[in-house]
Amino acid sequence: MSDKLKPRDRKVRILATLGPASDTPEMIETLSRAGVDAFRINMSHGERKEKAALFDHIRGLEQKLGRPTTIVVDLQGPKLRVGKFAGGKAMLEDGQTFTLDRDEAEGDTSRVQLPHAELFEAIEAGSLLLVDDGKLRLRATEVSEDRIVTEVEVGGKISDRKGVNVPDVLIPIPALTDKDRKDLDFALEMGADWVALSFVQRPEDVAEVQDIVKGRAGVMAKIEKPRAVDALDDILALADGVMVARGDLGVELPPEKVPPVQNKIIATARKAGKPVVVATQMLESMITSPTPTRAEVNDVADAIYDGADAVMLSAESAAGQFPEKAVKMMDRIGRAVEEDERYGDRVHFTETLPEATTADAISQSARGIADTISAKAMACYTSSGSTARRISRERPLVPMLVMTASLGVARRLGLLWGAHAVHTRDVSSFEEMVGKARRMILRHDLAEAGSRVVLMAGVPFGQSGSTNVIHVVKLAGDELETYQRSLDLDE
């Protein structure tokens, strides 16, 4: 039996975070076989040497598994925290006055240091400050250049270095810290396929990273702040993809606001033809339990019904007791949703109108043709991934083969809904592409002899974004003989 992975029988992708529970070559392979399509490396924890080893483990598996594997490096971003307390903690009572200042002395029940000069410039009377993931709520009543006096709306225990969120304020802090710049250089040097940018507030934050990356990786904007939601269209215009970072969104927004915001982000990204990942707390109970709650299963299913490109596991796969079970559960949820007879209607509820371009018109027409003739698969050849993204935006319900001569492009497509990316030799003519597509569809068991398939490409080849041809072919019986002769020629 071949060790190669077969194409997934689901369209939604699974992104899993690596950590102490999953950082060995054996476990990475186990998770890949269980259903993981892409791996997240979190730069907030661990040493650089450990991260380099993860890259080596993942890349070492590609040949064995016969599939390009996607690596997402998640940058930490700025972390706003209070200082230290005498005794390590203090208790704050509802209604009391509590001051945040620039004094380095240890804090007490009346005050503590806030070592972020930018906040004193940005915060105004009336601004809300959330401490320790929103467990404590402070309302600013008086602000000067070195003191923020607050009223404690919700008190409790506050301890050393707890995080601070300021949802109402555009904070004049760049998304890239000095640490992030070094981590970004490392990620690009190691060949990361995607870089996830934290603390995005404005499109300029994305533009800054794009200027550094220069196309060497996809740039994913993490939408975790209300200001980013307000600027979503402009951010999406510059980003290559987005992540619904529900952890911080759930702190900075009332909990009941997060579902409609998530739905908005998914719909907006789909209309823009950009991959969208839904992340954080999807199967969180599986950190310590072998089974999820029913609410968690419904949460994952709703994201898939909405048409998210990928769903993400965080601590469940990084530090949990049951990483393989969590991946298999995510895989089963995805397949069950996509087998639902109503899934096609639900996933197409978001209207993705084509732009007035030949490429968009061709992509939309190709899905319609596939539906009309009951095609068993779609295939495209792409040099940049743009053709694949256009087809994926239409959410065709048949398998989609994507052929590319660029290994980097093939890896990056691991987060794209429905795409089965194959790294193959370049082609020089339309006829060569058609022959290769027919063979590859058979080789990867995406359709059988006698089936009709829809092919798309851009002519002339090698010009990004030039999708202009639809071709329908029928896989004849003699294709099987051609397929056998071609086994040592294509990949």
Given 8, 10, 40, 393, the catalytic residue: 40
3-state secondary structure the chain: CCCCCCCCCCCCEEEEECCCCCCCHHHHHHHHHHCCCEEEEECCCCCHHHHHHHHHHHHHHHHHHCCCCEEEEECCCCCCECCCEHHHEEEECCCCEEEEECCCCCECCCEEECCCHHHHHHCCCCCEEEECCCCEEEEEEEECCCEEEEEEEECEEEECCCEEECCCCCCCCCCCCHHHHHHHHHHHHHCCCEEEECCCCCHHHHHHHHHHHCCCCEEEEEECCHHHHHCHHHHHHHCCEEEEEHHHHHHHCCHHHHHHHHHHHHHHHHHHCCCEEEECCCCHHHHCCCCCCHHHHHHHHHHHHCCCCEEEECHHHHCCCCHHHHHHHHHHHHHHHHHCCCHHHHHCCCCCCCCCCHHHHHHHHHHHHHHHCCCCEEEEECCCCHHHHHHHHCCCCCCEEEEECCHHHHHHHHHCCCEEEEECCCCCCHHHHHHHHHHHHHHCCCCCCCCEEEEEEECCCCCCCCEEEEEEEECCCCHHHHHHHCCCCCC
* 206 within 8 A of 238, measured Cβ to Cβ: yes
* Cα–Cα dist 371/348, whole Å: 13
Q: Is 280 a catalytic residue?
A: yes
Q: Of 131, 83, 90, give the one whose Cα is nearest residue 108.
A: 90
Given 280, 352, 424, 467, the catalytic residue: 280
* 440 within 8 A of 490, measured Cβ to Cβ: yes
Q: Is 222 a catalytic residue?
A: yes
Given 59, 81, 147, 179, the catalytic residue: 81
Q: Is 4 a catalytic residue?
A: no
Given 222, 246, 376, 393, the catalytic residue: 222
Q: Is 40 a catalytic residue?
A: yes
Q: State the catalytic residues.
A: 40, 81, 222, 280
